[in-house]
């Protein structure tokens, strides 16, 4: 320890200058020797056998983000892990969780944990995190490939009680579906502004608000009729690049190839509407049911999987009251279904829209609640 008793403040200020120099030295030394207070983010490539045979964007490896807790490098501890599924259009590493984790940790709200960011991004800007012969087995990638890699290569606590899954928007809808099938792998699920429907008709009408989308899909189908599988991706993207406004169409293509894939069709997916003899579009019921079973209709899924959902330590949802009408109504419907099936959950309605307060909620609510509910190593 440095003895400060010999220093006094004189009129010349020389001793004060010396005190300041020594004080700065002491502070810098303490910071150097003290434990880090920040999470460390890495973007890593992991093996992805579940994605290698996809027709669209096949991958032998795929990038995921990982945020390691402050004490990770200087300890031998094992940590709980939360798997965070990003929303539509978010590419790997675009919105790492690290900043929110750091803010939450510095406020004393957060226990240390590992956070893995999975983007689900492809050429159509999203995969819906489901298994598909066209876009890849994304559910398996999330629940098998990623978990196995993290448990093997990082000091995770490799059991259900120390794992959670969360997501925002498309990622939240994907997490909702995954949670029903994989309660053996996760102990909690947190859904932020989930992109799920209040009912099938409303959800489908958003993608097919008028005949223009179906006309565009038929146009694409005709253009791709004789295109070989190996050229399919490059050719459909070439055609789409000629469209002035293709955002809604990209979502529809991503959704259809995820939930109603068919490699024998020119579009590699089945359409929920067909033309009748009078030239009017009518529902193709069998295919329509496949589409609504994606993110549009949760009534039957929750009823069939209610015992699995009851096994969770925590099911939590949040949503801004100024989000889009479809998101707000879909969230309300989802919680009503949980309630009617006697499945415990917590709901956080807040003053905000789809994205303007996501960071704040992560810092003050989402990550703290998750960390408290995951088993840790003492």
Q: Would you give the end-to-end CA distance of the chain in angstroms?
A: 32
Alpha carbons 217 and 158: distance in angstroms, whole number: 45
Helix, strand or coil for residue 163? strand
- Residue 213: exposure state from Cβ atoms within 10 A (0-12, 13-18, ≥19): middle
Question: Residue 6 — pLDDT band, cuts 50, 70, 90?
Answer: very low
Please tell me the class of the 40-199+298-373 domain.
Answer: alpha beta
Give me 141's structure tokens: 């990638």
Alpha carbons 350 and 197: distance in angstroms, whole number: 20
Q: Are 126 and 248 in contact (CB under 8 A)?
A: no
Closest CA to 160 of 319, 317, 366, 308: 308
Helix, strand or coil for residue 372? helix
Question: Residue 2 — pLDDT band, cuts 50, 70, 90?
Answer: very low
124-148 pLDDT per residue, tens? 999 999 999 999 999 999 999 999 9
Where exactly are the structural domains of the chain?
Answer: 1-34, 40-199+298-373, 206-292
- How many Cβ atoms sit within 10 Å of the Cβ of residue 55? 18
Q: Are 269 and 261 in contact (CB under 8 A)?
A: yes
Give the distance from CA 34 to its chain's centroid. Answer: 34
Q: Are 86 and 56 in contact (CB under 8 A)?
A: no
Q: Is the dihedral of CA 369, 88, 68, 138 positive or negative?
A: positive
Q: What is the pLDDT of residue 36?
A: 77
Angle at 148 between CA 146 and CA 154, to 5 degrees: 90
- Contacting residues for 120 by C-beta, under 8 A, at least 6 apart: 85, 86, 90, 126, 127, 128, 129, 138, 170, 171, 174
Closest CA to 254 of 24, 8, 56, 19: 56
Task: State the residue for tokens 């005949």.
Answer: 211
Which residues lie across from 319 on neighbouring strands?
349
Asked if the model's pLDDT at residue 34 lies above 50, the reply is no
100-115 pLDDT per residue, tens? 999 999 999 999 999 9
Q: What is the pLDDT of residue 17?
A: 44
Question: Residue 356 — pLDDT band, cuts 50, 70, 90?
Answer: very high
- Contacting residues for 271 by C-beta, under 8 A, at least 6 apart: 214, 217, 256, 284, 287
189-229 pLDDT per residue, tens? 999 999 999 999 999 999 998 889 999 999 999 999 999 99
């Amino acid at each position: 320890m440095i003895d400060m008793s010999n220093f006094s403040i004189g009129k010349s200020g020389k001793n004060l200058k010396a005190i300041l120099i020594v004080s700065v030295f002491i502070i810098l030394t303490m910071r150097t020797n003290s434990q880090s207070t920040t999470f460390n983010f890495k973007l890593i490539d992991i093996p992805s056998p579940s994605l290698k045979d996809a027709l669209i964007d096949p991958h032998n490896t795929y990038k995921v983000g990982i945020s390691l807790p402050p004490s990770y490098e200087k300890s031998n501890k094992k940590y709980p892990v939360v798997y965070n599924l990003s929303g539509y259009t978010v590419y790997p590493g675009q919105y790492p969780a690290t900043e929110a984790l750091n803010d939450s940790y510095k406020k004393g709200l957060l226990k240390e944990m590992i956070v893995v960011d999975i983007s689900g991004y492809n050429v159509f800007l999203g995969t819906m995190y489901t298994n598909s012969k066209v876009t890849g087995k994304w559910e398996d990638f999330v629940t098998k490939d990623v978990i196995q890699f993290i448990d093997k290569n990082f000091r995770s606590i490799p059991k259900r009680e120390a794992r959670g899954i969360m997501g925002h928007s498309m990622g939240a809808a994907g997490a909702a579906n995954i949670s029903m099938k994989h309660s053996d792998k996760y102990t909690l699920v947190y859904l932020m502004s989930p992109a799920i429907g209040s009912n099938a008709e409303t959800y489908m009408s958003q993608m097919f608000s008028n005949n223009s989308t179906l006309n565009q899909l038929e146009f694409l189908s005709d253009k791709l009729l004789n295109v070989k599988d190996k050229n399919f991706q490059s050719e459909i993207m070439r055609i789409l690049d000629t469209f002035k406004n293709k955002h809604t169409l990209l979502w529809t293509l991503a959704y259809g190839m995820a939930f109603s894939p068919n490699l024998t069709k020119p579009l590699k997916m089945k359409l929920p509407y067909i033309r009748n003899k009078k030239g009017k579009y009518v529902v193709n019921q069998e295919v329509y049911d496949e589409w609504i079973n994606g993110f549009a209709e949760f009534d039957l899924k929750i009823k069939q999987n209610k015992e699995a959902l009851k096994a969770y330590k925590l099911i939590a949802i949040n949503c801004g009251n100024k989000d889009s009408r479809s998101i707000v109504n879909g969230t309300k419907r989802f919680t009503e279904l949980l309630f009617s099936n006697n499945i415990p959950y917590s709901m956080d309605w807040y003053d905000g829209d789809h994205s303007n307060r996501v960071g704040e909620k992560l810092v003050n609510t989402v990550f703290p609640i998750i960390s408290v509910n995951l088993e840790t190593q003492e």
